[in-house]
C-alpha cells in the first residue's frame, strides 16, 4: 500500500492505482465522521477511561456523549452464540432508556457519534465528559431517568459529577462513572421466623421498595413496589433462606453480659437488661419485658454484607417492640 502512495511532480501523467484511490476514500470517510461531531476529534482513550464497543440499537443516531442502556452482549456464548468470540472481545448492545428504571446504574456514554445500528466506542467506567440534565445546582451525582435519553442529576447515582457548566438544563459535565451502589436498599419487612435455639432473634422476609416522590400519585410519600414487568430486577427474599435478613440489634441478645446482683442467668432472656432493673430481678412472678419481632410492613434500610464463609447476607437495624408479659418466671432463668 505505501508504495502506491507516491507524490508526483508537475507535468507527470496522473495514474491513480486502485489501492491509492481506496485509501483516499477511506480518509475522506474518516474526516467526515470526525466533522459530523461539530469538529470534534476521534475517540481517544483517556488515562482513566474504560472503553467498550457498543452497537446502537436505540433506533436513532446517538451523538457524542449521549447515553445508552446496557442491554446484553452482541455475541453470546452457548449453542446459539459463539463462545470463542465471546471470550475474545467484550461488546455490548445499547438500548434506548425505557419508561421504567431498568437501566439505573447500567449505562454507557458514547465516546464518538454512533449511527443507529452501528458500532462505536463508549465509556463504561472512568472519567469522561457527558451531557447531564442538571435539575439542581447542588446535585452531586447523575444517573439514567425513565424515558429520558440523557443523564439526570441528583443527590445519588452511579456517576459522580466532578464539574459541570454553570446553570441548569442539559449541560456538559465531567463525570466519574462506576458500578451502581446496590449494597443498601429500601426494603419492606415480611413475616419473621424465630432463629432456632435463640430466645430472641428472628430471620425476616423482605422485598425491595422505593419512595414514591410523585406528588400527583395516590401513594405519594409512601414506599411502594411496582407490579408486573416494572419490578423486573427488584430484589426480594421470596422464601429463599439464604436471603432472609438479620436485625443487627438482635445479634447481641444471645450474649450474656456481665451483670451484678444475681441477674446473670436471667440476662440470656434479656428481661433484666434494661436501665433500672432491680437487684433481685426477676421476682417469682412479674410483668416481664419480652422482645417481639419487627412488625410486618415496616420499611428499613437493608444492607448486603459478606460473611466469614464469603456468602452474602442481608442485615438491617431496627428497635424491637417490647411487650410486658405477666408470667411465672422459670427458675432456669435465675443465676
Nearest to 175 by CA among 154, 160, 155: 160
- How far apart, in whole angstroms, are the C-alpha atoms of residue 218 and residue 10? 81
CA gap 52, 269 in Å, rounded: 58
- Assess if residue 15 is contained within a domain: no
* Per-residue confidence band for 157, with pLDDT thresholds at 50, 70 and 90: confident
Map grid coordinates 442529576 to a residue.
Answer: 153
> Are residues 99 and 203 both part of a single domain?
no
Among residues 127, 157, 177, which one ends one of the domains? 177
Three-state secondary structure string covering 269-330: CCCCCCCCCCCCCCCCEEEEEEECCCCCCCEEEEEEEECCCCCEEEEECCCCCEEEEEEECC
Cα–Cα distance for residue pair 150/133, rounded to 1 Å: 7
pLDDT tens across 161-183, in order?
999 999 999 999 999 998 766 67
Clarify whether residues 111 and 92 are in a common domain. yes
> What's the confidence (pLDDT) of residue 200?
84
Q: What's the number of domains the chain is made of?
A: 2
For residue 15, give every residue at least 6 positions away whose Cβ sits within 8 Å of its Cβ, in sequence order, or none: none
Show the CA angle centred on residue 316, arms to residues 314 and 322, nearest 5°: 130
Domain identity same for 101 and 238: no
| Structural domain range at position 171 | 49-177
SS3 58: coil
Last residue of a domain, one of 122, 154, 177: 177
How far apart CA 334 and CA 326 sit, in angstroms, is 17
Task: Flag whether 208 is in a domain.
Answer: yes
- Asked if residue 23 is part of any domain, the answer here is no
Residue 285 pLDDT > 80, yes or no? no
Q: Which tops the pLDDT comparison, 144 or 6?
A: 144
In a domain? residue 307: yes
Domain boundary among the residues 130, 159, 177 is at 177
Give me the phi and psi of 286, to 5 degrees please: -160, 160
- 320 Cβ contact list (under 8 Å, min separation 6): 200, 247, 249, 250, 291, 292, 293, 294
Do 223 and 158 belong to one domain? no
Helix H, strand E, coil C: the string for 102-128 is CCCCCEEEECCCECCCCEEEEEEEEEE
> How confident is the model over 123-140, as pLDDT tens digits?
999 999 999 999 998 898
Range of weakest confidence among 120-134, 193-207, 252-266: 252-266
- On whether residue 234 sits in a domain, the answer given is yes
Same domain, residue pair 193 and 329: yes
Amino acid at each position: 500500500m505505501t508504495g502506491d502512495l507516491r507524490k508526483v511532480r508537475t507535468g507527470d501523467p496522473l495514474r491513480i492505482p486502485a489501492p491509492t484511490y481506496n485509501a483516499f476514500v477511506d480518509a475522506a470517510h474518516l474526516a467526515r465522521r470526525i466533522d459530523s461531531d461539530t469538529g470534534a476529534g476521534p475517540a481517544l482513550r483517556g488515562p482513566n477511561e474504560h472503553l467498550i464497543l457498543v452497537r446502537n440499537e436505540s433506533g436513532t443516531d446517538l451523538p457524542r456523549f449521549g447515553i445508552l442502556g446496557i442491554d446484553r452482549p452482541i455475541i453470546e456464548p452457548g449453542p446459539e452464540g459463539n463462545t470463542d468470540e465471546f471470550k475474545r472481545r467484550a461488546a455490548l448492545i445499547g438500548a434506548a432508556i425505557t419508561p421504567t428504571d431498568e437501566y439505573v446504574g447500567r449505562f454507557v456514554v458514547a465516546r464518538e457519534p454512533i449511527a443507529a445500528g452501528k458500532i462505536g466506542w463508549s465509556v463504561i467506567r472512568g472519567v469522561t465528559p457527558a451531557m447531564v440534565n442538571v435539575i439542581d445546582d447542588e446535585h452531586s451525582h447523575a444517573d439514567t431517568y425513565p424515558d429520558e435519553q440523557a443523564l439526570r442529576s441528583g443527590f445519588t447515582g452511579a456517576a459522580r459529577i466532578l464539574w459541570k457548566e454553570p446553570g441548569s438544563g442539559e449541560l456538559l459535565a465531567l463525570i466519574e462513572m462506576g458500578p451502581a451502589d446496590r449494597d443498601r436498599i429500601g426494603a419492606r419487612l415480611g413475616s419473621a421466623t424465630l432463629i432456632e435455639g435463640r430466645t430472641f432473634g428472628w430471620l425476616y422476609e423482605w422485598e425491595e421498595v422505593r419512595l414514591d416522590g410523585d406528588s400527583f400519585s395516590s401513594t405519594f410519600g409512601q414506599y411502594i413496589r411496582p407490579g408486573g414487568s416494572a419490578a423486573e430486577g427488584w430484589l426480594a427474599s421470596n422464601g429463599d433462606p439464604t436471603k432472609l435478613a438479620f436485625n443487627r440489634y438482635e445479634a447481641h441478645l444471645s450474649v450474656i453480659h456481665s451483670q451484678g446482683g444475681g441477674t446473670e442467668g436471667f440476662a440470656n432472656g434479656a428481661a433484666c437488661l434494661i436501665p433500672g432493673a432491680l437487684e433481685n430481678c426477676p421476682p417469682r412472678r412479674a410483668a416481664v419485658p419480652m422482645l417481639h419481632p419487627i412488625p410486618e410492613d415496616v420499611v428499613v434500610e437493608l444492607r448486603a454484607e459478606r460473611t466469614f464463609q464469603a456468602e452474602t447476607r442481608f442485615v438491617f437495624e431496627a428497635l424491637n417492640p417490647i411487650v410486658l408479659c405477666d408470667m411465672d418466671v422459670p427458675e432456669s432463668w435465675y443465676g
